[in-house]
Amino acid sequence: MKKIAVIGSGNVGSTTVQRLAELELGNIVMTDVVEGLPEGKALDIIQAAPVLGYNVDILGTTNYADIADSDVVIITAGIARKKGMMRDDLMRINANIIKDVSENISEYAPEAIVITVSNPLDLMTYATQKYTGLKPERVFGMSGVLDSSRFAAFIAMELGISVKDVSALVLGGHGDSLVALPQYTTVAGVPISKMLPQETIDRLIQRTINAGTEIVEYLKTGSAFYAPAASIATMVESVIKDQKRVIPAAAYLQGEYNESNLYLGVPVILGKNGVEEIIELELTESQQQAFSMSANSVREGIAKLQL
The active-site residue out of 174, 184, 248, 298 is 174
Torsion of CA 175, 189, 247, 78, to 10 degrees: 30
Q: Is 269 helix (H, G, I), strand (E, B) or coil?
A: strand
Query: Phi-psi bin for 133: left (phi > 0), alpha (psi -120 to 50), beta?
Result: left
Contacts of 33 (CB under 8 A, 6+ apart): 62, 77
**Which contacts qualify for 128-135: CB closer than 8 Å, 24 or more apart?**
128/75, 128/98, 128/101, 128/102, 129/252, 129/263, 130/307, 131/98, 131/99, 131/102, 131/103, 131/106, 132/102, 132/105, 132/106, 133/106, 134/110, 135/274
For residue 269, list its beta bridge partners.
246, 277
174 is an active site residue = yes
Q: How far is the C-alpha of 221 from the C-alpha of 80, rounded, in Å?
A: 10
Q: Which residues are known catalytic residues?
A: 174
